[in-house]
Amino acid sequence: MHAEPRPEPSPLIVRIWSSSAVRYLFVGGLAFLFDVGVLWLLHDVLGVPLPISTPAAFLLSFAFTYTLQRTVAFRASDDVAPSVVRYAILVAANTVATTGIVWAADALGLPWIVGKIAAVVATTIWNYFIYRYWVFSARKGS
């Protein structure tokens, strides 16, 4: 019994996947599902208040998101430590922004998921450029 040869991916798929922006959005989608799932579990199932559950879920996704963005989206090969430090600084800023946006949506009487989606849209836009040009950028002379 022999295995059938695997079909080659189409050139269009290869070209699309070669874009860091496409890989970034794909990984970001997975990270969003992970983050929202943890937020739902903490807040809706376990009853943890939003000001606690929002940053907790966001921070729990730290290792998951960092690892996939580094290896899949940006294919970084430099030392891990400098990018982890830069990523941690960005996560701290994003945690404050995300918590504020989710809290504001809730305070306005909107479902928390509306605030979470708004926060994801905002952070997705600025994070791509920050990841590409700061967190995972190849340093000359490194």
For 4-40, how does the pLDDT look when each residue is reduced to its tens digit (9 = 90+)?
Answer: 778 888 888 889 999 999 999 999 899 989 989 999 9
- Given a contact cutoff of 8 angstroms between Cβ atoms, the answer to whether 98 and 55 are in contact is yes
Please indicate, yes or no, if residue 36 is contained in any of the structural domains.
Answer: yes
- According to DSSP H, which parts of 108-139 are helical? 112-130
Please indicate, yes or no, if residue 29 is contained in any of the structural domains.
Answer: yes
For the entire predicted model, the pTM comes to 0.71
Cβ-based neighbour number of residue 126 at 10 Å? 13
Condensed to tens digits (0 to 9), the pLDDT of residues 38-54 reads: 999 999 999 999 989 98
Please indicate, yes or no, if residue 104 is contained in any of the structural domains.
Answer: yes
Confidence at residue 142, expressed as pLDDT on a 0 to 100 scale: 45
Domain ranges, residue 90: 11-135
Cβ-based neighbour number of residue 111 at 10 Å? 10
Alpha carbon distances (Å) from 85 to 38, 70, 97 = 24, 13, 19
Please indicate, yes or no, if residue 140 is contained in any of the structural domains.
Answer: no
CA angle 112, 65, 77 (to 5 degrees): 160
Q: How many domains does the chain have?
A: 1
